[in-house]
Structure 1
Amino acid sequence: MRVLLTGGTGTISRAVVARVLAEGHSLSVLNRGNREPLPEGVEHLVGDVRDEASLRDALGGREFDAVVQFLAFDGEDVERDLRVLAGRAGQYVLVSSCSTYLKPLPHHVVTEDSPQGNPYSAYARDKIAGEEALRAGAGDLPWTIVRPSHTYGERTIPTNFHFGNPWAAWQRVLDGKPVIVHGDGESLWTFTWNEDFAVGLVGLLGNEGALGRAVHITSDESITWNRAFRTVAGVIGAGEPDLVHVPSATLGALREDLEAALLGDKAATIVFDNTLVKSLVPAFDARTTWAEGVARAWEWMQAHPDSRRPDPAYDVFCDDVIARVRAWA
């Protein structure tokens, strides 16, 4: 297949690039050329995907069997793509988000047919608008919507919230400082290793069963946030972490962006039913556990110390909130 992918250097798209190449497809990647070099064998198209004239110039007269769009964030972005790609794509794959599902959840087990709507997150609402624009305007262009959930890779260890670099949370744990966990820490969450996700997404390319459908691609492992923090602490050799539990609503009241990140996403217990992607892509098996993924990421980060960047704003916020919580206790 001839595949076009936008971005190509992010946590998810980097893994998809590798998987597309591993399966022997012809790959073009479109981005602005400001990030790291792409792997050998990739045709690099330089342009601004969010600028219609630049996008047209970069694509020239090329046609593709599948286009994977990582960089469409609202309805206008999708409408632009549909204009540019008319008659030159066999399948348009919109990468959306599992944050689009309704909050609060009507049921903790989520399928692709679960209702969407997120009053806390503008990002999620914009993604929903993108999905709606695709369904309404695709015309004869076959399409697939893909919804990832908290996908990570070897270059970072994700956490519940941060303002610059998630490593700041783990540096606090490593230094024996208290760290904030939202709520009581017992809500369930799903972390998905990027290489596992890539198997699912690439398996949907050219897959007739995926056309006209939304498909989420996540791990089957759901763990509590308390366990997530304790697992990381164990892997990095920090011992038992000092977890300070703070209501998500309190954190959201202190910082508006945390309302979206927590009440609109991570505070809800959510378990994904991956029956659909497994039926469409038999090779998909999100086999990487949180403990295994964290260990791989920690190994990479030890070899790349520049990845362990501080986040002063996060530290100040945590110190202030923890001091208040402990003063109230």
Structure 2
Amino acid sequence: MHVLVMGGTHHVGRALVEVALRRGDTVTTLNRGQSRPPAPGVEALVADRTDPASVRRALGERSWDAVIDTWAWAPSAVRDSAWLLADRARHYGYVSSRGVHAWPWPAGADESAPLVAGDPGSQDGSDYAAAKRGAEMAVIEAFGERALLSRAGMILGPYEDVGRIPWWLRRLERGGPVLAPGPAGAALQYIDAIDLAAWMLAAAERGIGGTFNVAGPAGHTTIGDLLTTASQVIGSDAELVWAPAELLEREGFPLGMEFGLRYPGNPCPTGIHDADVSAALAAGLILRPLRETLADTWAWLRREGDPAPRSDTPSPAQWFDPAQEQHVLELVRPRRTS
């Protein structure tokens, strides 16, 4: 296909470009041109998404088989791009989020669960959930049944820049006793950015539209599986010391919140890691093994170094205090006296 990726330099956008090239697609990207240089073989268009005239000039009168958009801020940018391309693209895929569902998320919820309010014309991107929902509405208005909304769960894998797995891999690399957010058997749902990209491109090629929760099935893995496998992948001798969620909550230590295992005042939230993803699986979503996801992430970190902190996401330095980790470790396993 001829694919236009709106974005294409970070996390899911970069994964989309990589997978599309691997598939043999012809790839064009559109972004501000202020991050990393385009991958070899990619046509890079430069525009400011918040400036409709800039986008129109960059895109010209061209057409594409598929557009995939990763925008996460003011919905008006998605609205303008979608309407501009409505008659020039066969398919428009939007990387949305399960965050568009109204909190608290019910256990086992599918795509029909209640949604937050959104405004496709809003120029305010400060509320992530409302912005993503507004963008969804904009894509549907412009493309109708030709729109694909991928409500991704927690996104892991190479190029992650939101401070989850890269931070944990570095923490495990240092070794020693490592405080871990318990219980170890707590279920996790996630989607590898590479798997998400592959599914969205295949869906575009097949003309699949609609709305899908996109993640692994409930019970697919646990936090214990994740951190134990991560230790094995990097060859760490770290000792995982599991702290109960109630203890972390009582001590005001946010460990575990980066995975959505708990939230302030709610050590055991329901619904976040048990979504019904049967529709995406029936539509061809394929998941690669956890070990492969972690190995690819580790290889990327070693090759390129840690990603620069994002301005819209708290950095680990803001929420992780080594002294507090040591304090909680001593509460979990008091020193033995001889």
Q: Is TM more than 0.5 here?
A: yes
Give the conservation status (yes or no) of the 8 Å contact 1:191–1:290. no
The one-letter code matched in structure 1 to 2:130 is: R
Whether 2:174 is the aligned partner of 1:171: answer no
Query: 144, 149, 160: which is aligned to 2:148?
Result: 144
Query: 229, 232, 235: which is aligned to 2:230?
Result: 232
What is the CA-CA distance between 1:30 and the residue it aligns to? 0.6
Give the conservation status (yes or no) of the 8 Å contact 1:12–1:198. yes
Partners of 2:233 and 2:113 lie apart in 1 by 35
Whether 2:131 is the aligned partner of 1:130: answer no
What is the CA-CA distance between 1:321 and the residue it aligns to? 5.8
Partners of 2:93 and 2:293 lie apart in 1 by 26
Give the conservation status (yes or no) of the 8 Å contact 1:248–1:259. no
C-alpha change, 1:205 and 1:78, in structure 2 (3 Å) is: same
C-alpha change, 1:307 and 1:113, in structure 2 (3 Å) is: same
Query: 270, 274, 283: which is aligned to 2:273?
Result: 270
Give the conservation status (yes or no) of the 8 Å contact 1:177–1:242. no
Partners of 1:251 and 1:24 lie apart in 2 by 52
Partners of 1:312 and 1:112 lie apart in 2 by 32
- Percentage identity across aligned positions? 25
Deviations 1:75-107 (A, max 9, x none): 323322234334322222211012333433322
Q: 1:33-72, aligned counterparts within 5 Å? A: 33-72=33-72
Whether 2:89 is the aligned partner of 1:89: answer yes
SS of residue matched to 2:34: coil
Give the conservation status (yes or no) of the 8 Å contact 2:52–2:77. no
Query: 210, 216, 221: which is aligned to 1:219?
Result: 216
What is the CA-CA distance between 1:178 and the residue it aligns to? 4.9
Q: CA RMSD in A?
A: 3.8
The one-letter code matched in structure 1 to 2:317 is: A
Partners of 2:86 and 2:274 lie apart in 1 by 37
Partners of 2:115 and 2:148 lie apart in 1 by 17
Give the conservation status (yes or no) of the 8 Å contact 1:183–1:247. no
Identify unmatched segments of 5+ residues in structure 2: 118-125, 310-314
C-alpha change, 1:13 and 1:252, in structure 2 (3 Å) is: farther
Partners of 1:45 and 1:305 lie apart in 2 by 24
Q: 1:1-329, aligned counterparts within 5 Å? A: 1-107=1-107, 109-117=108-116, 122-135=127-140, 137-138=141-142, 142-155=146-159, 162=163, 166-182=165-181, 184-208=183-207, 210-211=208-209, 213-220=210-217, 222-239=220-237, 240-247=239-246, 250=249, 263=262, 268=270, 270-281=273-284, 284-286=285-287, 288-302=288-302, 304=303, 306-307=305-306, 313-314=317-318, 317-320=321-324, 323=327, 326=330
Identify unmatched segments of 5+ residues in structure 1: none
Deviations 1:12-54 (A, max 9, x none): 2222223323333332111112222323332211111232121
Q: Which residue number corresponds to residue 122 of structure 2?
A: none
Give the conservation status (yes or no) of the 8 Å contact 1:78–1:130. yes
Partners of 2:55 and 2:223 lie apart in 1 by 41
The one-letter code matched in structure 1 to 2:152 is: P
Give the conservation status (yes or no) of the 8 Å contact 2:149–2:212. yes
Deviates most, 13-22 or 180-189: 180-189
The one-letter code matched in structure 2 to 1:128 is: R
Give the conservation status (yes or no) of the 8 Å contact 1:178–1:243. no
SS of residue matched to 2:27: strand
Q: Give the length in aligned residue pairs.
A: 313
Partners of 2:62 and 2:294 lie apart in 1 by 40
Deviations 1:149-175 (A, max 9, x none): 22333356x9xx84xx75343333333
Partners of 2:259 and 2:28 lie apart in 1 by 34
Give the conservation status (yes or no) of the 8 Å contact 1:31–1:49. yes
SS of residue matched to 1:241: strand
Partners of 2:291 and 2:130 lie apart in 1 by 32
